[in-house]
């Protein structure tokens, strides 16, 4: 069994869909954080913690959107995928995971 993934355009299409998914997740989480910050219980949340969560989720969203853009750019020009796309394939979920983890921490602290 070949572990390298689908070859050529199918691989690129799958990566593009993956980055679209990560972009959507980042935007949804950012909306959740901003909604949470409007609650009266949010007064107990440190401003610095909230800013950290927003930055992590924002960076993940920008990375995912940028990677999807680079895939489209490379595909329309018939060029190979840039190295940044493969780097962002690993880094974006890690940054998003840190942001979502921090969001869950803030949410549980605000609700509890």
CA dihedral 8, 10, 13, 19 (to 10 degrees): -90
Contact predicate 106/33, CB 8 Å:
yes
Of the two residues 51 and 5, the one the predictor is more confident about is: 51
- The answer as to whether 15 is a domain residue is yes
Q: Is residue 79 part of a domain?
A: yes
Structural domain boundaries, residue 32: 8-111
Asked whether 56 and 102 are in contact (CB, 8 A), the reply is yes
Give how many domains the chain has, as a whole number.
1
- Residues 47-87 pLDDT 10s: 888 899 999 999 999 999 999 999 999 999 999 999 999 99
pTM, full prediction: 0.84
Could you tell me if residue 3 is inside a domain? no
């Amino acid at each position: 069994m070949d572990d390298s993934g689908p070859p050529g355009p199918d691989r690129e299409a799958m990566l593009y869909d993956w980055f679209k998914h990560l972009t959507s997740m980042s935007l949804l989480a950012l909306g959740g954080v901003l909604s949470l910050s409007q609650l009266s219980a949010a007064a107990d949340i440190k401003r610095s913690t909230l800013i950290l969560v927003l930055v992590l989720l924002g960076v993940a969203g920008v990375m995912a959107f940028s990677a999807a853009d680079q895939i489209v750019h490379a595909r329309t020009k018939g060029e190979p995928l840039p190295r940044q796309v493969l780097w962002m394939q690993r880094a974006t979920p890690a940054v998003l995971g840190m942001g979502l983890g921090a969001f869950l921490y803030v949410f549980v602290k605000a609700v509890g």
